[in-house]
Chain A
Amino acid sequence: EAGVTQFPSHSVIEKGQTVTLRCDPISGHDNLYWYRRVMGKEIKFLLHFVKESKQDESGMPNNRFLAERTGGTYSTLKVQPAELEDSGVYFCASSQGKARYNEQFFGPGTRLTVL
């Protein structure tokens, strides 16, 4: 069974540009999460989808970040316009069933560098 996949693995952009990250969860997982790790700091939650609906987006840093999950399958996270402090590794995770009780499976992450 395929795990969580993310694309691209690396992205280098200039400040002010737009970047879109993609996450494909494990098939059948209704829950999809985005996290971010800025260099040397803790991994922070960004948001949680249940199918196509945003269950919790309390971790989204500002309105330059837009996450979508059309059709409840894959998800995209767009950063527009990107700032230097957006650099970091963006992880996606998915889980099945009740979010509270089930393990989250993480993807390999997308390393974003904003110059």
Chain B
Amino acid sequence: SQQGEEDPQALSIQEGENATMNCSYKTSINNLQWYRQNSGRGLVHLILIRSNEREKHSGRLRVTLDTSKKSSSLLITASRAADTASYFCATDGGIGGSYIPTFGRGTSLIVHP
């Protein structure tokens, strides 16, 4: 079964608004990571949150993790046109499981200027 399913698949907002993306997964994890991919470019690592952490911040980014619900959210505050990209969550296989991150299909975010 698929680890790291992002929701929604697509999100369109106006500049200045907040954008929230969710990620659900099925098995236990050690870490959950969020990545961004701008069109035609590689994946950029945004945040890594460990299974014993509940929230992390980095600039305008806020990531939460709820291991009881097996879900994570990525909040981008005061969005900018430059935030337009695809966002992926990636999970590993937890204790004793695979260390290889498994990616979802991503959320495509469009921020209109």
Contacts and interface: CB of A to CB of B under 8 A. Distances in A.
Given A105-B45, A106-B44, A109-B42, A42 B92 contact: no
B100 A45 contact: yes
B100 A42 contact: no
Contact of A108 (B33, B42, B106): B42
A91 B33 CA distance: 17
Interface string A46-79: 0010000000100100000000000000000000
B42 to A, nearest CB: 4
Q: Which range holds the interface residue count of chain B? A: 20 to 34
B105 A104 contact: no
Interface string B35-53: 1000011111100100000
A91 B92 CA distance: 18
A106 B42 CA distance: 6
Contact of A40 (B43, B90, B99, B105): B105
Interface string B71-105: 00000000000000000101010000001111111
Interface string A1-39: 000101000000000000000000000000001010000
B43 A103 contact: no
A91 B45 CA distance: 13
A17 to B, nearest CB: 23
A59 B106 CA distance: 20
Interface of A: 4, 6, 33, 35, 40-45, 48, 56, 59, 91, 93, 99-100, 103-109, 111
17 contacts: A4-B42, A42-B102, A42-B103, A42-B106, A43-B43, A43-B90, A43-B103, A44-B103, A45-B101, A93-B43, A100-B92, A103-B45, A104-B101, A106-B35, A108-B42, A109-B41, A111-B40
